[in-house]
Amino acid sequence: RAAADCPAAAPAALQSRLKEQLQELLGDATAIAEDRVAQEAALLATRADIREEIDRLKAHVEQARELLDSKEAVGRRLDFLTQEFNREANTLCSKAADVSLTRIGLDLKAVIDQFREQIQNVE
């Protein structure tokens, strides 16, 4: 939930940061075309979009809850599910355009590791 609410991944924030970086690199002497900045910001926003990872994490959490509520042996299936959790967390961290999002991803990875340790004791 915290990752989905991270403002640094918002397109407006990306566009603003891109414009600042371009002005810093190029100085005031070079005019920056607003439409070009908008295009680049849109491209960066697409690459940094984490909604798909958040949706998959939600689906994995729901599946984990169902498995934990079932009466059958689920240890191996939960182990596979933690691998999926890790994939999404890794992708989230790799797409992080902001330190706060990286921290959220690292916290998530720590929780996943704790979950994996717990399911080692489940059959």
Question: Letter for the amino acid at 25?
Answer: L
Question: For residues 74, 78, 81 and 82, what is the CA-based torsion angle, rounded to 10 degrees?
Answer: -170
- Is residue 12, in this structure, part of any structural domain at all? yes
Q: Is 5 helix (H, G, I), strand (E, B) or coil?
A: coil
Give the sign of the dihedral formed by CA 84, CA 1, CA 90, CA 94. Answer: positive
- Is residue 106, in this structure, part of any structural domain at all? yes
Please tell me the predicted confidence (pLDDT) of residue 69. Answer: 94
Q: What is the pLDDT along the chain (123 residues), one digit of tens a residue?
A: 555 555 555 667 766 777 777 777 767 656 667 777 777 777 777 777 888 889 999 999 999 999 999 999 898 999 999 999 999 999 988 888 788 889 999 999 999 999 999 988 866
CA–CA distance, 95 with 99 (Å, rounded to integer): 11
Which structural domain, as residue segments, surrounds residue 101?
7-119
Please tell me the predicted confidence (pLDDT) of residue 87. Answer: 96
- Is residue 70, in this structure, part of any structural domain at all? yes
- Is residue 1, in this structure, part of any structural domain at all? no
pTM tops 0.85, yes or no: no
Please tell me the predicted confidence (pLDDT) of residue 37. Answer: 72
Please tell me the predicted confidence (pLDDT) of residue 39. Answer: 77
Number of domains in the chain: 1
pLDDT digits (tens, 9 = 90+) for 26-41: 676 566 677 777 777 7
- Is residue 63, in this structure, part of any structural domain at all? yes
